[in-house]
Structure 1
């Protein structure tokens, strides 16, 4: 949409689409057939290869691993880096070979696309495996929504949400936000909460996000932890306002948008250094980051410190709000649109010069 707002015509080619389609942007649905994600991917790529030449396009921007694009938006982490510690048998599987080949076809050729990345860590990962020229990478600022609520509104949200959930004001609430519970480290979070059940008499754990909770409900029951699974919410901001800290001990996360969303609401953050945006938490002095290799005992102890020290949490809250007010955490889409425009303009200029030669 940011590109469209710069007076460009945009066409989207995708396998599936949920929700309303943006006005003025034509969405082409391709290659939906297949029994597995791999087969559906292959059908999509084959259909895309046939479809693109039928359109007069100035350039192609890929949001998944598609060869021959002009620009690749690397929202997903480097695949071979992410699975480097998987077993030999995993790497013999079809899934590994499929995604490794897709990524190899993008980056291992003589002219890889301009690549938009969200963190410095991803630049390092791609370079370790593919040796890409530095000028091919473009580091984007984050792209969270600004929190425009007043302090009074935040206090009202805290009061209202706690009343809705019958949570006393005196309770300490740890909040987990995100879909894909396993990779986000919900099991780690549950174990940390279980280890601190006696730290305070009023400790609650809320989980906001879509996922498959059965395994984690079983784990919570075994650990005798009461967890509120609240599902996916359109009003997540109210829960940031109502909680006392965000607990996000992810196994792997290329960025971790929820970390910055929490900062904009003044919510202290406890996360892991495997999240791309974790350095913002340290820079803001608005929480803590568990270093690799991960230690459950270290997480448990740090959660205990968060629970016990309300004054420190208040300082983190103030630091978070100050950081969110002074740093650019918001212009990802506008910056990406400008970079894409510049890259394609240079390409068209070269094409024009060659045509005139």
Structure 2
């Protein structure tokens, strides 16, 4: 049976596409008979029609292929719910009149019901699936995302830190707090800024990522009296330099199925504070998990890490060791193990 990794309009630059390409190469290296199958739709069609057409295209071509996808499709052997649960996402996003949402919900239900097995990228996502849909728990396997972990020595990190701080004219003795992510509302940049405004400690913070309403967040930082302490960098190709420059990665997201940025920050020896609504938060010390994005406890945790270098350094060291266990290679091995199990059950 041919293993087909299915994706809509494959592009080498998207996060999902990059993961799929890495998975493809890793599976081939392990001897799997694998291909990438992509489907395109006319650009003039409404988005919700494109989604329905994509589902029809993929299912029509399936034949005897083993289908794996990150997309919601009603004819999969293995669905990777890397995007989380749309019904749960809408709870955090709020109501909007968009015909795409009902289509997503319909496809999501069919995908969960029809898929032979489901990968949840965190226990949180598995719990969300079970809460919203009548799916047998044994049908869902938790496989955490992985990163291309790099062994990095302290000297290399210090050199990158110095370069970034010199570039932005920042005092090297200041504690550096970092946020990385695009789509600032869901990922908690407002809450990030509000918490920092209450620190009453010297600091500088970088906000790295793409946001269409960036002027709102710049104005908010001014209103909060911390404008001079915040650098909005926009999207960056060299984000690893900012991981290296920072001491604390603060990610008060409202809903993040996993959050590779957390592991990436840990790879560069950051202490991490995030929310229980972030799947990757399951991997860190639970003391540094917030109950919600605007949890007032965030200020206390930030102060603890800033005021106590020994505590901060221990957390940074522990996080680096944790990140070293969640590599993309480990993820591929776990995925292949599950694929083999499904094919054996189908015989």
What TM-score does the superposition give when structure 2 sets the normalisation length? 0.83
- Equivalent pair of 1:176/1:246 in contact (CA under 8 Å): yes
Q: Give me the whole-angstrom Cα distance separating, in 2, the residues matched to 1:304 and 1:232.
A: 28
Instruction: Tell me whether 337-346 or 244-253 shows the greater mean CA deviation.
Output: 337-346
Give the structure 1 partner of residue 79 of structure 2: 72
Give the structure 1 partner of residue 205 of structure 2: 205
Match for 1:58 among 53, 65, 68?
65
Give the structure 2 partner of residue 105 of structure 1: 110
Normalized per residue, the structure richer in helix is 2
Q: Give me the whole-angstrom Cα distance separating, in 2, the residues matched to 1:130 and 1:28.
A: 28
Q: Give me the whole-angstrom Cα distance separating, in 2, the residues matched to 1:167 and 1:314.
A: 21
Q: Give me the whole-angstrom Cα distance separating, in 2, the residues matched to 1:48 and 1:176.
A: 37
Q: Give me the whole-angstrom Cα distance separating, in 1, the residues matched to 2:168 and 2:2.
A: 47
- Equivalent pair of 1:34/1:43 in contact (CA under 8 Å): no
Give the structure 1 partner of residue 28 of structure 2: none
| Cα pair distance change 1:9/1:296, threshold 3 Å | closer
Q: Does 1:307 align with 2:306?
A: yes
Give the structure 2 partner of residue 94 of structure 1: 99
Aligned length: 327
Alignment map for 1:244-323 (pairs within 5 Å): 244-282=247-285, 288-292=288-292, 294-323=293-322
1:116-158 Cα distance to aligned partner (Å, 9 max, x none) = 1111122222112223223311221331121222222112112
Q: Give me the whole-angstrom Cα distance separating, in 1, the residues matched to 2:148 and 2:93.
A: 35
Greater C-alpha Rg: 1
Shift of 1:9: 6.3
Q: Does 1:47 align with 2:23?
A: no
- Equivalent pair of 1:246/1:269 in contact (CA under 8 Å): yes
Q: Give me the whole-angstrom Cα distance separating, in 1, the residues matched to 2:161 and 2:10.
A: 37
DSSP-derived class of the 2:130 partner: helix
Q: Give me the whole-angstrom Cα distance separating, in 2, the residues matched to 1:295 and 1:239.
A: 24
Q: Give me the whole-angstrom Cα distance separating, in 2, the residues matched to 1:167 and 1:211.
A: 24
Q: Give me the whole-angstrom Cα distance separating, in 2, the residues matched to 1:342 and 1:240.
A: 38
Give the structure 2 partner of residue 353 of structure 1: none
DSSP-derived class of the 2:201 partner: coil
Give the structure 1 partner of residue 343 of structure 2: 344
Gaps of 5+ in 1: 1-6, 350-357
Q: Give me the whole-angstrom Cα distance separating, in 2, the residues matched to 1:244 and 1:229.
A: 17
Q: Give me the whole-angstrom Cα distance separating, in 2, the residues matched to 1:100 and 1:117.
A: 17
- Equivalent pair of 1:15/1:32 in contact (CA under 8 Å): no
Shift of 1:10: 4.5
Gaps of 5+ in 2: 26-33
Shift of 1:344: 3.1
- Equivalent pair of 2:160/2:245 in contact (CA under 8 Å): yes
Q: Does 1:152 align with 2:159?
A: no
| Cα pair distance change 1:150/1:8, threshold 3 Å | farther
Q: Does 1:163 align with 2:166?
A: yes
Give the structure 2 partner of residue 352 of structure 1: none
Q: Give me the whole-angstrom Cα distance separating, in 1, the residues matched to 2:259 and 2:7.
A: 26
1:52-103 Cα distance to aligned partner (Å, 9 max, x none) = 15xx54211121111021111110112223334776xx38863442222111
Instruction: Tell me whether 139-148 or 24-33 shows the greater mean CA deviation.
Output: 24-33
What TM-score does the superposition give when structure 1 sets the normalisation length? 0.81
| Cα pair distance change 1:175/1:85, threshold 3 Å | closer
